[in-house]
Amino acid sequence: MTTPTRVGPPSTLSRDSQHTAGRVGDSPLRPDGTLKVTGEFAYASDLWHDDMVWGVTLRSPHPHARIAGIDLTEALKVPGVYAVLTADDVPGENSVGLEHLDTPVLADGVVRYQGEPVALVAADHPETAQRAAKRIKVDYEVLPAVTDPRRALDEDAPKVHDGGNLVRHLVLRRGAQSKEAPVVVALDFEVGMQDQAFLGPESGLAVPAEDGGIDLYVATQWLHVDQQQVCRALGLPKEKVRLTLAGVGGAFGGREDLSMHVHACLLALHTGKPVKMSYNREESFFGHVHRHPAWMRYEFGAEPDGTLLYATANILFDGGAYASSTGAVVGNGGTMGLGPYRIPSVAVDCYGVYTNNPPCGAMRGFGCVQTAFAHEALMDELADTVGVDRVAIRQLNGMREGDRNITGQLIDSAAPVAELLDIVRDMPLPPARADEPDLRDLPGGVSNTTHGEGVRRGIGYAVTYKNVGFSEGFDDYSTARVRLELVGGEPVATVHTAAAEVGQGLITVEQQICRTELGVERVVVHPKDTTVGSGGSTSASRQTYVTGGAVQAACAAVRREVLARAARLVHRPATELRLDGEKIVSLGGAAGGTAGGEVLAGLAEVLGEDAVEETVQWRHRPTRPIDPETGQGDAHVQFAFSAHRAVVDVDVELGLVKVVALDTAQDVGKAINPDAVIGQIQGGSAQGMGLALMEEIVVTDGRVRNPSFTDYLIPTILDMPPMKIEVLEYADPHAPYGLRGVGEPPTISSGPAVAAAIRQATGRALRRVPVRPEHITGA
């Protein structure tokens, strides 16, 4: 294993690095950064067309019901209404979906969850459209609902779909299936339903085209999969359905599935007018998938010193009414579900089921977040049972490079579990609480609920790993088109991919790679649309890896052509030339040259009037489907490791928690943009902490009780603690620049560390998150 580079927080970077440089390893200013801070950035909700009308959706109030009839008469009488549509008006197939085509565009005969779209209205004003929608009369016959996923597979449970309630059952067996050990610990754990809580609700604009097609401008994570589903529903070929990415106000997985896409297109084609749809906050809670709630039973067997001998896990994910990405979540949750540990004998059963609860799908961490709460809680229990330090027991059992994980896959690059734990353990602890603390530093102190009585401090640790990219044989690739030409006498590179920029900084990364590979300063990023090949989804921590790899490869192809042209111009073999900045330089060491080479020509001279353009479809090394009977196989592309230490103050009398510090270390392979890496770690940690403490969509009998930011709580600036962050750069030899995906691991390890710290402070088991005040007080 090579010695890593360590990257400090942004404050330690030079001013030049932060503001003027722009190559791989620098932290240039983001082109959208100032616009977002000043409120000038155009999000999808800002889209406008002079001739547009507004679309709204009528949604089911019932978790499960049969539609006996729909009367549109009164809605059509409302002045200003242009169209009222139902499932009968879908010209193509009324079924879409990411993994299974099981999701109706509009409910046809039955609704399977509260909030399912039933009808659409287009009108000259959004309030007019809302009034008309309220006049649609739907005759519902309420049906029995499956709302407890633990009962969904019972023989007498109502069937959510004709094929039954099982989406996927993953079976994973490795090693001798002996369940005998000197020390055995077990627990049950439950994780609530979390929302992505992006700040920009779903919005888009559909514009009918003269060719009978449609142009859709929409905030999304995956343009080409959206295009495929819209084409299916509209019955149109892909050349007549053109998508362009609009400004995205956050995503975190919640924009992988369709929301208003087809609805706006249907209304636009029906009315012949541009149609804008923009959800309010409440509708957004019903209009996208959420993180799967989970119920888990874990057991570890170990030697008296804490060395793991076996592990079993039974994991259940509630997928809600439609499949979305439940199958893949089961795959990740199962294959990654025992954490970054060496375990000789493994038996995992992971289930995803249909219910009449809200649909669940992708969210940052994708199955691993839920299981990490269980395996990290059980590691603490094992440590306490055998009398070993909680950090030491993780280091004793932690993966190392050259190990095989529970699917039998070789860990063929760095696995610095022990080192990451050393780093976070050795970081300075926050100072002890003062005798007369500032109220703002106490749990609930901002509200003057305590002056420090009954407040106890706890420290908790967690370590995890996350697969990067799509898995189990999925054909995961990205396409990049790079054009190099003279504009105003100056070389300009234009990079065009369909990879969605959702706030993570991909546009900046694409520019950095182009500057690094081609040496030009001016790099333009083409708008993201479907006129170039697919960039895949902005999810699974994959875009810098896969689209970055595609941009790098396209730049290399451009560079080869430039050098071939230069060779003809300077009468030297191309193998003796290189591109250095905006000059063609020999590989020799002639005096007066650049970086040891002789300057032979300028890039502008070589390009002349003829642009160089190359398009590359790039794939990482392949993954493979796992064996359906054993769960064994090389299912994943790459693994990224992270560790957190949380320090909390807990008022054990009131059940209130203040996170005092949330420190972390993570291996990122190569920090393409160090500032962006730090930002991703901070943001991911906030989401993990939010799930541990406060974030939950409360669903009772299939009905959402808190669809608003008044009642669905997310961490604010007052909740986020100081964070010490140390980033390691152990290069992955298989990845572009040696990088590893960054965005998801901090969400996975932060929450369990917070929960562990609360357990230490209170002495309570706390086997459910979010941790509520009554869990702490026992009330």
pLDDT tens string 718-727: 999 999 999 9
Element (H, E) at 484: strand 477-487
**pLDDT over 60 (residue 75):** yes
How many CA atoms lie within 13 Å of 273's alpha carbon, on the beta-carbon side? 18
Q: Give the whole-angstrom CA distance, residue 669 versus residue 558.
A: 26
The confidence score (pLDDT) of residue 21 equals 56
Residue 148 in any domain: the answer is no
Residue 182 in any domain: the answer is no
Residue 676 in any domain: the answer is yes
Judgement on whether residues 645 and 661 belong to the same structural domain of the protein:
yes
Residues 6+ apart with CB under 8 A from 129: 54, 55, 56, 81, 121, 122, 123
How distant, in Å, are the alpha carbons of 103, 111, 161 from that of 321?
Answer: 9, 9, 9
Average pLDDT taken over every residue of the chain: 95
How distant, in Å, are the alpha carbons of 331, 488, 664 from that of 522?
Answer: 42, 12, 36
Final residue of a domain: which of 558, 591, 619? 619
* % of the chain at pLDDT higher than 90: 93
**pLDDT over 70 (residue 616):** yes
* Strand-by-strand arrangement of the 241-245 sheet: 81-85, 117-123, 53-59, 275-278, 203-208, 214-218, 241-245
In 10 A of CB 526, how many CB atoms?
Answer: 16
pLDDT in tens, 101-124: 999 999 999 999 999 999 999 999
Q: Note whether 512 and 672 are within 8 A (CB).
A: yes
Judgement on whether residues 354 and 365 belong to the same structural domain of the protein:
yes
Judgement on whether residues 431 and 555 belong to the same structural domain of the protein:
no
Judgement on whether residues 574 and 520 belong to the same structural domain of the protein:
yes
Judgement on whether residues 486 and 370 belong to the same structural domain of the protein:
no
User: Mean per-residue pLDDT for 646-650?
Assistant: 98
pLDDT in tens, 143-176: 999 999 999 999 999 999 999 999 999 999 999 9
CATH number at residue 566: 3.30.365.10
DSSP string, 678-689: HHHHHHHHHHHH
The confidence score (pLDDT) of residue 4 equals 55
Judgement on whether residues 698 and 756 belong to the same structural domain of the protein:
yes
The confidence score (pLDDT) of residue 448 equals 85
Q: Give the whole-angstrom CA distance, residue 292 versus residue 257.
A: 15
Tokens 């008469």, located at residue: 73
The confidence score (pLDDT) of residue 5 equals 54
H runs (alpha helix) in 427-522: 506-518
Residue 120 in any domain: the answer is yes
Residue 4 in any domain: the answer is no
Residue 171 in any domain: the answer is no
Residues 6+ apart with CB under 8 A from 677: 7, 668, 671, 727, 742
Q: What is the pTM of this model?
A: 0.95
93: buried, middle or exposed (CB in 10 Å: 19+, 13-18, 0-12)? Answer: middle
The confidence score (pLDDT) of residue 178 equals 85
Question: Could you tell me which residue, 741 or 21, shows the higher pLDDT?
Answer: 741
Range of the domain at 231: 44-143+201-248+255-287
Our count of domains for the chain comes to: 3
pLDDT in tens, 506-531: 999 999 999 999 999 999 999 999 99
352: buried, middle or exposed (CB in 10 Å: 19+, 13-18, 0-12)? Answer: buried
Question: Could you tell me which residue, 592 or 574, shows the higher pLDDT?
Answer: 574
CATH number at residue 271: 3.90.1170.50
User: Mean per-residue pLDDT for 4-14?
Assistant: 41
User: Mean per-residue pLDDT for 735-745?
Assistant: 98
Q: Backbone dihedral region of 429: left (phi > 0), alpha (psi from -120 to 50 degrees) or beta?
A: beta
Final residue of a domain: which of 597, 619, 641? 619
In 10 A of CB 119, how many CB atoms?
Answer: 23
Q: Which of 5-19, 354-368, 729-743 has the lowest mean pLDDT?
A: 5-19
Residue 28 in any domain: the answer is no
Q: Give the whole-angstrom CA distance, residue 428 versus residue 430.
A: 7
Judgement on whether residues 751 and 699 belong to the same structural domain of the protein:
yes
Judgement on whether residues 306 and 402 belong to the same structural domain of the protein:
yes
The confidence score (pLDDT) of residue 437 equals 82
Judgement on whether residues 612 and 666 belong to the same structural domain of the protein:
no
Q: Give the whole-angstrom CA distance, residue 6 versus residue 241.
A: 46
At 434, the pLDDT band (50, 70, 90 cuts) reads confident
Q: Are strands 214-218 and 241-245 parallel, antiparallel or unpaired?
A: parallel
Judgement on whether residues 311 and 346 belong to the same structural domain of the protein:
yes
Tokens 């209130």, located at residue: 656
User: Mean per-residue pLDDT for 661-665?
Assistant: 98
Final residue of a domain: which of 619, 638, 672? 619
The confidence score (pLDDT) of residue 484 equals 98
Question: Could you tell me which residue, 453 or 674, shows the higher pLDDT?
Answer: 674
Q: Which of 196-200, 229-233, 587-591 has the lowest mean pLDDT?
A: 587-591
3-class secondary structure per residue, 113-178:
CCCCEEEEEEECCHHHHHHHHHCCEEEEEECCCCCCHHHCCCCCCCCCCCCCCEEEEEEEEECCCC
Element (H, E) at 420: helix 417-426
| Among 460, 465, 464, 463, residue whose Cα is nearest residue 754 | 460
User: Mean per-residue pLDDT for 33-52?
Assistant: 96
Judgement on whether residues 675 and 773 belong to the same structural domain of the protein:
yes
End-to-end C-alpha distance for the chain, whole angstroms? 51
Judgement on whether residues 56 and 128 belong to the same structural domain of the protein:
yes
| Among 257, 256, 258, residue whose Cα is nearest residue 221 | 256
User: Mean per-residue pLDDT for 675-692?
Assistant: 98
**pLDDT over 70 (residue 2):** no
Tokens 């190359």, located at residue: 614
Element (H, E) at 729: strand 725-729
Residue 166 in any domain: the answer is no
The beta-strand segments (E) located in 500-634 are: 522-525, 577-580, 583-586, 599-602, 612-619
**pLDDT over 60 (residue 283):** yes
The confidence score (pLDDT) of residue 595 equals 52
